[in-house]
A = this chain, B = another copy of it.
Amino acid sequence: MVILDDKNEFLRLFGERLGHFRTEQKLSFRELALNCNLDHSDIRKIEKGKRNIQLSTILELAKGLDIHPKELFDFEMNIEKE
C-alpha cells in the first residue's frame, strides 16, 4: 500500500489550520505578518503547506494570533506507521 507523503500532508493540514484562524480574525497576510515578525509572503507559503517551519516560528504564529500553539495542531489525521 502506498502511503501518501505524510510530511507534506502534515504541512498542508497545519497551513490549513493557520489559515482558518487568520481568516476567522479577518487578518490579511500582511496584518498577521506584522504581529508575528514574519514576512507576509512567508506566511502565505506556510498556509500553502510549502514550509517546514520550526518550533520558534510556530510560537510566533500563535502569539500573532493570540492562541495557544496547540490550537494550530487541532486537526484530524491518521498517524501511519510505515
A contact residues vs B (CB 8 Å cutoff): 6-7, 10-11, 14, 52-56, 58-59, 62-63, 66-70, 73-74, 77, 79-81
Which chain B residue lies CB-closest to A14?
B55
CA gap between A68 and B72 in the complex, in Å? 12
B63 touches A81 (CB 8 A): yes
B66 touches A73 (CB 8 A): no
CA gap between A69 and B70 in the complex, in Å? 9
B81 touches A66 (CB 8 A): yes
B73 touches A7 (CB 8 A): no
* Smallest CB separation, A37 vs chain B (Å): 10
A7 touches B56 (CB 8 A): yes
